[in-house]
Amino acid sequence: MSWLTKTGDNALLSLSKKTGGPSYIFAFLGNPGSRYAVTRHNAGFIAGAALVKRLGLGKPGKKFKSETYLIKIGGKSVLLLFPQTFMNLSGEAVAAAAKFYKLPPENIVAVCDESLLDIGVIRLRQSGGHGGQNGMRSIIERLGTEDFPRIRIGVGKKPVPEMDIADWVLSPFRGQELADIERVAAVCADCVTEIVHSGLMSAMNKYSNRNLLDGQ
């Protein structure tokens, strides 16, 4: 992810080549390339980037048609996965990683955009349909199940109902929107650590369906 800057404190998490197989995979969804870097569809990438940036991690590995980081959170190995397949084929990367590490669906967390939620709101779910999000559709098809957790990041609703949804999600965040989504991304990084430390339900109680920008 060459567009990321390296910065931050790795006191909570550390990159290690000796972490072994991961207990969790967090799949941050988006489209590769600078053209898409700050589009709404790349909210997943932006959230993952916030975590990478915070930790000051170096260059990613290349595996499973993805850019990857194998890290530790509270003693547990975690794989951060950034599929480079483009959104519609995200499932190829996620399923390959899941198969290689023999992880059950409940330990695979997808992080993606949600155009039915306002910017500032995220929604955590244990399972569910794709909701029209093509990356999620691809993951469901490749894993053969809907029973995996997801973090859906609000990117704002279409300004007019007749606007094509593809045009909307491929449009860039602008002005205050970009500042706001970066603040939300930082909270999503906290959400990742909460899931690993304390479980999905704890993270849901702390972060789901709340305006994360209130009081900030």
Amino acid letter, 119: I
The reply to whether 130 belongs to the active site is no
Q: Is 131 left (phi over 0), alpha (psi -120 to 50) or beta?
A: left
- As a three-state string, the secondary structure of 145-179 is CCCCCEEEEECCCCCCCCCCHHHHHCCECCCHHHH
Q: What is the DSSP string of 102-114?
A: T--GGGEEEEEEE
Residues 6+ apart with CB under 8 A from 100: 64
98/105 Cα distance (integer angstroms): 8
The widest CA-to-CA distance across the chain, in whole angstroms, is 51
Instruction: Name the catalytic one among 41, 54, 142, 152.
Output: 41
28/34 Cα distance (integer angstroms): 16
Catalytically active residues, by annotation: 41
